[in-house]
Structure 1
Amino acid sequence: MAYKITKTLVDSIPFPDSGQMFYRDSELKGFGVRVGSNSKVYFAESKINNKTVRVTIGHHGIFTAEQAKNEAKNVLGMIARGINPNDISKAEKAKSVTVNQAFEQYLKARSDLKARTIYDYQRFMKTYFKEWENKPLIDISKDLIEKKHRSIGERSPAQANLAMRFMRALFNFANGKYEDSEGNSIIADNPIKRLSQTRSWYKIERRQTVIKASDLPTFLNAVMELPNYSPSLNSLAVKDYLLLLLFTGLRREEALSLEWKNVDLKNKTFTLPDPKNRQPHTLPLTPFLQDLLQKRFNENAGNSEFVFPSTGIKGYMNDPRPQMNKVTEKCGVKFTPHDLRRTFITIAESLDISAYALKRLANHKMSNDVTAGYIIGDVERLRSPMQRITDYLLKTIKTEA
């Protein structure tokens, strides 16, 4: 039923207990008021290509009935010309999206990101892009990108590249997420392309440091003796952590976050359920590693779900820099956790362990290797090469002793 929409009429309409009621104007077809349990809102509606388009004009009280009707005439005129006002409104909102709003939407969309990756992205936002947080995304020009990259690079070329790779991912996301009224992306071109077009990316030499063969005996004995010259509460845990890295080639976070539920001491294996490449990775435990973990289990089982527990927020130990520095002071060998992974791989290669076994041990992807796709990576096939690496390292300790 149609009514002559006036202020008096709208004022007199009662709020329904639930749902919505629609009152349409008898004079202007397509104009009306929608009444909910606590609101009265004017609208205009018509069809484009036989599809109903309804546009909200505003709340009764903010708009008078006469003002709403005049606005409805404009809206209905646009619809008659095939223009959807909702698309225009959506486009305007898209164009006003800030860098921080896009980042928040990106995190929601990328629920598969690892905690470490999210931490790094949030750090980039706070450290390098703080002044851009409330800036519309479309206002980030190629010139701004080039200038920012150069500015960060003056302090750290590596961080400059990483920060811009993050920003490139953000713009790629925005390219598919935000559109104008015609369905075209508001990001016509990813501004990070400027760095490739001008060859401005910094050339970062990949770190190649390892524990040299001549330093291994001194280094290993310094690690083994760590609890003796660094009598802190967790020096024994740090010793075991460093040995686990060197004897397995695990990445830093993979070792630190290892959980007991993923260690099978009976069958002499342990599993990384969600490593860097997202493919669950199971490795054999040599007798040396089994003994190391068994002792840790006997001391800590029941106190924590983690092999290297901590009272911190994460529940497991942070990177133990102080104790690592103690090892360096003792043996004179500077190292990082990833140096131990590179040393493990270097030793494996020197022992002529097959390339496929080495890749399995390091959990490197072999997606581009057709032959590798036919090889079944049974953990038992890795037990022998793992033992050879362990034997080499243990022999090194005995040589020093």
Structure 2
Amino acid sequence: MRGCDHSLRWVDVDLEKRLFDLSYMDSVTKHRGVLPLSRQAVAILERRKNSMQDSDMWVFPSETGRGKDGHITLRADKIKTKTGLDITPHSLRRSFTTVGERLKLRREDINLLTNHIDQSVTGKHYSRIGVDDLRAPLQAIASEIERLMTEGVGVKKISSM
């Protein structure tokens, strides 16, 4: 996603390296964030890429009225109309964070995956977490969300120790 517009261009996606680039010039935080893609996201993006024209610039171009830049703008009312789900992009972000917390993942990793940047001296100068460091926590969250979707929210996962 790029800033508040929730858009993604194919030029920002590298399916081979399994990452995408949040261009800092369009981001609210003005922070450039190269983030990993989960196994599930790669599968979705590969299907999407195969179904599109080579000339399509946007990963999710608008099928009807285009925004000023030609991409989809995620609005809660449109999401509800299309899916029947009463959700917002922000509620999905909170759900992602909650799943990460329940998995007892590091808060710093969850923050970086949601593009929340530590502006402290330590965060700016000493915290050097790379894309590859974020792959495992991202995949853990994505797999847990997938499990909750397929098995149900009330199903408890029993881990073997």
- From the superposition, tell whether residues 252 and 343 of structure 1 become closer, same or farther in structure 2 (CA, over 3 Å): farther
Q: Report the 3-state secondary structure (helix = DSSP H, G, I; strand = E; otherwise coil) of the residue aligned with 1:370.
A: helix
Could you list the runs of 5+ residues in structure 2 that have no partner in the other structure?
153-161
- From the superposition, tell whether residues 334 and 261 of structure 1 become closer, same or farther in structure 2 (CA, over 3 Å): same
Q: Provide the TM-score with structure 1 as the length reference.
A: 0.34
Who is 1:273 aligned against? 23
1:166-177 equivalences in 2 (<5 Å): none
Counterpart residue identity of residue 143, structure 2: D
Note the alpha carbon deviations across 1:16-53, whole angstroms, 9 max, x for none: xxxxxxxxxxxxxxxxxxxxxxxxxxxxxxxxxxxxxx
1:172-321 equivalences in 2 (<5 Å): 253-255=4-6, 257-274=7-24, 275-310=27-62, 312=66, 313-320=68-75, 321=77
Q: Which has the larger radius of gyration?
A: 1
Offset of residue 325 of structure 1: 3.2
Could you list the runs of 5+ residues in structure 1 that have no partner in the other structure?
1-249
Offset of residue 326 of structure 1: 4.6
Counterpart-to-counterpart distance in 2, 1:327 and 1:284: 27
1:359-374 equivalences in 2 (<5 Å): 359-370=111-122, 373-374=125-126
Counterpart-to-counterpart distance in 1, 2:3 and 2:119: 24
Instruction: Select the structure that is richer in helix.
Output: 1
Q: Indicate if the aligned counterparts of 2:79 and 2:88 stay in contact, CA closer than 8 A.
A: no
Q: Indicate if the aligned counterparts of 1:348 and 1:358 stay in contact, CA closer than 8 A.
A: yes
Q: Please tell me whether residue 324 in structure 1 is matched to residue 74 in structure 2.
A: no
- Identify the structure with bigger relative contact order (alpha carbons < 8 Å, sequence gap 6+): 2
Q: Indicate if the aligned counterparts of 1:356 and 1:372 stay in contact, CA closer than 8 A.
A: no
Q: Indicate if the aligned counterparts of 2:49 and 2:59 stay in contact, CA closer than 8 A.
A: yes
Structure 1 segments (4+ residues) deviating >4 Å: none
Q: Indicate if the aligned counterparts of 2:10 and 2:59 stay in contact, CA closer than 8 A.
A: yes
Who is 1:339 aligned against? 91
Among candidates 128, 131, 135, match of residue 376 of structure 1: 128
Paired residues in the alignment total 146
- From the superposition, tell whether residues 293 and 299 of structure 1 become closer, same or farther in structure 2 (CA, over 3 Å): same
Q: State, as a whole percentage, how many aligned pairs show the same letter.
A: 28
Note the alpha carbon deviations across 1:135-172, whole angstroms, 9 max, x for none: xxxxxxxxxxxxxxxxxxxxxxxxxxxxxxxxxxxxxx
Q: Please tell me whether residue 354 in structure 1 is matched to residue 106 in structure 2.
A: yes
- From the superposition, tell whether residues 345 and 301 of structure 1 become closer, same or farther in structure 2 (CA, over 3 Å): farther
Q: Report the 3-state secondary structure (helix = DSSP H, G, I; strand = E; otherwise coil) of the residue aligned with 1:271.
A: strand
Q: Report the 3-state secondary structure (helix = DSSP H, G, I; strand = E; otherwise coil) of the residue aligned with 1:300.
A: coil
Q: CA RMSD in A?
A: 2.2
Counterpart-to-counterpart distance in 1, 2:74 and 2:110: 26
1:123-142 equivalences in 2 (<5 Å): none
Counterpart-to-counterpart distance in 1, 2:17 and 2:2: 23
Q: Indicate if the aligned counterparts of 2:61 and 2:70 stay in contact, CA closer than 8 A.
A: yes
Offset of residue 281 of structure 1: 0.9
Offset of residue 365 of structure 1: 2.2
Q: Indicate if the aligned counterparts of 1:357 and 1:385 stay in contact, CA closer than 8 A.
A: yes
Offset of residue 336 of structure 1: 1.6
Q: Report the 3-state secondary structure (helix = DSSP H, G, I; strand = E; otherwise coil) of the residue aligned with 1:308.
A: coil
Q: Provide the TM-score with structure 2 as the length reference.
A: 0.80
Counterpart residue identity of residue 57, structure 2: E
- From the superposition, tell whether residues 278 and 371 of structure 1 become closer, same or farther in structure 2 (CA, over 3 Å): closer
1:118-157 equivalences in 2 (<5 Å): none
Counterpart-to-counterpart distance in 2, 1:379 and 1:394: 22
Offset of residue 381 of structure 1: 0.3
Who is 2:142 aligned against? 390
Counterpart residue identity of residue 353, structure 1: L
